[in-house]
Structure 1
Amino acid sequence: METTTQPVVPTKAKPLARPELLAPAGSLEKLKFAIHYGADAVYIGGQKYGLRSNADNFSFEEMKEGVEFANRYGAKVFVAANIYAHNEDIEGIEDYLRNLQDAGISAIIVADPAIIETCRRAAPKLEVHLSTQQSTMNWQAVQWWKENGVDRVVLAREASMQEILDIKKHVDIEIETFIHGAMCSSWSGRCVLSNHFTDRDSNRGGCCQSCRWKYDLFTESEENPLFEQGDEAFSMGSKDMCMIEHIPDMIRSGVDSFKIEGRMKSIHYVATVVNAYRQAIDSYLADPEGYVLKPEWVEEINKAANRPLNTGFFYEMPDHEDQIFAPEDKPNEYDFAGLVVGYDEAEGMVTVQQRNHFKPGQEVEFFGPGGTFFKQKVDTLWDEEGNELDAARHPMQRVRFRINHPVKEFDMMRKKSGKTK
């Protein structure tokens, strides 16, 4: 992970507050995993008005179930309603916001002033969190939003650490920043490539992620590409942000909510990343003077990483080294292989719900909330009727085998990616 760091010195000495760890939840199952693995709050999308129209967005019934689950853990559920609305989007927004309020949602994440004003009038129990889509960068803009009824401001991904410190110095309002996940190749929330190439509006939930495509170059007068046959195609994707190594700086900055990007990411990704940040945050707050970054936290993050990592705009302006122009070496990739659904302590036998193919003799890893972790090889494998298996081939099939350490329900099993047949 590449970074240039400068120590963060808070503008005023005061007790360190416990920041909220805010996780993505693209589905009800992901919501439960995110909270179980340590998220204080999750953000989801409804079936309207959000910027991830291709996610498994929530019905109102699913929202209610998600809120009930979150309440058992003392967690909150936020809903992204952060499109820039056109005239045809406005009809029905009042009823939609009232239904969110009735479902027990704690806050909406919103960019359009019209939706903010409508929420204040129609669903006053909902907190209003200003979306990063507004690209808020300075304390005067934050003050203006506070005076106009916003409860929290999600800063632009492009905000630096010094800008965050200045904002916290001048304005008494909750501040949320992204600490992990994808960065935009354009200025966040201002890209129109998707609109131009595919007629899918990135500011109305339809982004096709055209910045991740592969491109070639052509001269104006010739049809032949400039790249030679076999050359790597050109791309312009940015590296992903990762602040796991800089949790002390983030906490000392006074940021109220640490946000992880990724409502379209897998359950394995959500659980792994949330688990690592939860441990780092809790460890620092328990002993700021004796805090030490554990290598296993960084290793866990790398197991879930899809792209190379950096520290975004926090410490310096990204340059060409922070873009991905060609394939790069990736950390070891892992697949979510199974979910622990039962454990017989007397027999040392685990029951796993299969999520990816695995077989006897293959090394797997078990991990769970709070640092549960061990590796072992799969020995004899049985189905629920006691029949011996040569592999776990069928998605969602429940299989049993002996393990070397205790596990709990919701612990996960993963394997290195590979074409096991």
Structure 2
Amino acid sequence: MPEMKIPELMAPAGNFAKMKTALHFGADAVYLGLKQFSLRSFAGNFTIEELEEALDYAHSLGNKVYVALNMMPVSADFKDLSVILPKLSNLKPDGVIVSDPGVVSLLRREAPELRLHLSTQASTLNSESVAFWGKSGIRRVVLARELSIEQIREISASSEIELEVFTHGALCISYSGRCFLSLYMSGRDANRGECAQSCRWQYRVLEETERDGEYFPIEEDSRGSYIFNSKDLCALPLLPELVSSGVNSLKIEGRMKSTHYVGITVDVYRRGLDILKERGESEFREAAPELVAELARVSNRGFTTNFLNGTPGQNEYSFEKCAVSNPYAFLGEVVEKYDGYLALNLKNPIRQGDSIELCDRGFLREKVAVKEILDNAGNVLDFGRSGEVIRLNGHFQTGVGGLARK
């Protein structure tokens, strides 16, 4: 029996620290944006100098880095884009994610050595479109989120270029994110990386002006109703089907999400893929509920498989609230470990008596009762503040790069 071919696991990298976390927890590749031209203007993003450092770091570990240039540009943007292209080309990223045909044309003309990936913003839904983009110089297509697994399988069977699909993270109410709701309501253009997430706002919709007296069929209370608010994509239970569909890369959304989200989500999907490869589908099915439960311990709006199992229904939306469930407070990252103690760079306060959990790659979880907190000089503290580096005494399995939460 031939060995199962496991797709690349790709994770978001909103900044350098999150990139390191993603790679530590098992991502094969990361995608990131520059300070300009990507669709996440409010992520930390990377300067050219930081990108060079990121590429050196990832490549030293045998991992890949893809750079997003998937903003929908206007004519004035091309001057700045032309300035940055020679620098980007010299750095040799593993791929550049684009969505606009004009950008594709520019890159093919001025930086032909760059490997081009087509963003999901292009809404590629069929094999004819994949073939068209392949002839246009695209090496990988990120398929539209509005496809079922069966449709993905059909496209894969006839595709001569690589395919990538989203498997986890926030979903947009619009077609592959091409939305003007944010621009109309807040002046922030989602197609230029500035989405205000107007779809998550609270609305009181009673009737359409053209249908006087005909009420919109939604349930609402005195607070209103969140009629556009999609749950988050979670394709973890469908990994066997996605792997067998023939796609080359599985992508996690979340360049603006926390380090905790990035690390745990990557860890869970890495664990699922490893179980599937090493132990088979039956044992994966047994492990899947525990893996999904762990995904629910990081920020989420509830989960849906979206279009992967067919057209989604009303259960795929959260009408009652837009708040993100975040069961754990992220305490920080393990930055040092020695025999007898480890050091945490705190992002939230910690006190004596707290019950915390340490998390590391390989689905390692350690419950710890905090009996004593020390500063770097060994002085005992009653509590540690955000921004401080503190020590916890004990013998731990979790190593440098691991995360702490409570």
Query: What's the TM-score, normalizing by structure 2?
Result: 0.92
The answer to whether residue 173 in structure 2 is matched with residue 173 in structure 1 is: no
Match of 2:274 in 1: 282
- Partner residue of 1:324 out of 296, 314, 318: 318
Task: Give the distance between the partners of 1:257 and 1:95, measured in 2 at CA.
Answer: 30
Aligned residues: 396
Deviations 1:273-314 (A, max 9, x none): 001101111121123255334243222211113210011100
The equivalent residue for 2:232 is 240
Change (3 A) 1:21 1:248: same
- The Cα of 1:332 is off from its aligned counterpart by 6.2
Distance 2:296 2:79 in 1: 44
Residue of structure 2 in register with 1:37 after alignment: 25
- Counterpart amino acid of residue 291 in structure 1: E
Partner residue, 2:261? 269
Instruction: Return closer, same or farther for 1:339/1:207 CA change in 2, 3 Å cut-off.
Output: same
Residue 368 of structure 2 corresponds to residue 376 of structure 1 = yes
Partner amino acid for 1:281? Answer: L
Amino acid at match of 1:356: N
One-letter amino acid of the structure 2 residue matched with residue 397 of structure 1: E
The answer to whether the aligner puts 1:214 opposite 2:202 as a matched pair is: yes
- Within 5 Å, give how 1:11-410 maps onto structure 2: 16-217=4-205, 231-235=222-226, 236-288=228-280, 291-293=283-285, 294=287, 295-327=289-321, 333-345=327-339, 348-393=340-385, 395-410=386-401
Amino acid at match of 1:321: N
Secondary structure of the residue that 1:23 maps to in structure 2?
Answer: strand
- The more displaced of 312-321 and 99-108 is 99-108
Secondary structure of the residue aligned to 1:292 is helix
Contact 1:376/1:403 (<8 A) preserved: no
Tell me, which stretches of 5 or more residues in structure 2 are unaligned? 213-217
Distance 2:109 2:310 in 1: 41
* Partner Cα distance (2:239, 2:80) in 1: 42
Q: Contact (CA 8 Å) 1:43, 1:79: kept in 2 or not?
A: yes
Report the alpha carbon displacement of residue 403 of structure 1 after superposing the two structures with TM. 3.1
Cα distance in 1 for residues equivalent to 2:312 and 2:401: 38
Instruction: Return 287-296 or 113-122, whichever deviates more.
Output: 287-296
The structural deviation recorded for 1:134 is: 0.6
Cα separation, partners in 2 of 1:83 and 1:289, compared to 1, 3 Å = closer
Q: Secondary structure at the match of 2:191?
A: helix
What percentage of aligned pairs have identical amino acids?
Answer: 38
SS state at 1:370 partner? coil
Equivalent AA in structure 1 for residue 202 of structure 2? K
Give the CA deviation at 1:124. 1.9
Q: Which amino acid aligns with 1:353?
A: N
Judge conservation of contact 2:33–2:46 (CA < 8 Å) in 1: yes
For the residues of structure 2 that align with 1:403 and 1:272, how far apart are their CA atoms?
Answer: 23
Give the counterpart letter for 1:255 in structure 2. Answer: V
- Output the CA distance in 2 between the equivalents of 1:133 and 1:204: 12
8 Å CA contact 1:22, 1:39 repeated in 2: yes
Shift of 1:84: 1.8
**Native 8 Å contact 1:134 1:189 kept in 2:** no
Q: What is the CA-CA distance between 1:329 and the residue it aligns to? A: 9.7
Quick check: 2:373–2:382 contact (8 Å CA) kept in 1? yes
Aligned equivalent of 1:419: none
Unaligned runs of 5+ in 1: 1-12, 222-226, 416-421
| Residue-by-residue CA offset, 1:332-374 (whole Å, 9 max, x unaligned) | 61121021122222xx222222111111111100011112211
Once residues 19 and 244 of structure 2 are traced to their aligned partners in structure 1, the CA distance between those partners, rounded to angstroms, is: 28
Partners of 1:31 and 1:350 lie apart in 2 by: 22
Query: How far apart are residue 29 of structure 1 and its match?
Result: 0.9
Q: Quick check: 1:304–1:334 contact (8 Å CA) kept in 2?
A: yes
- Paired residues of 2:341 and 2:396 also in contact (CA < 8 A): no
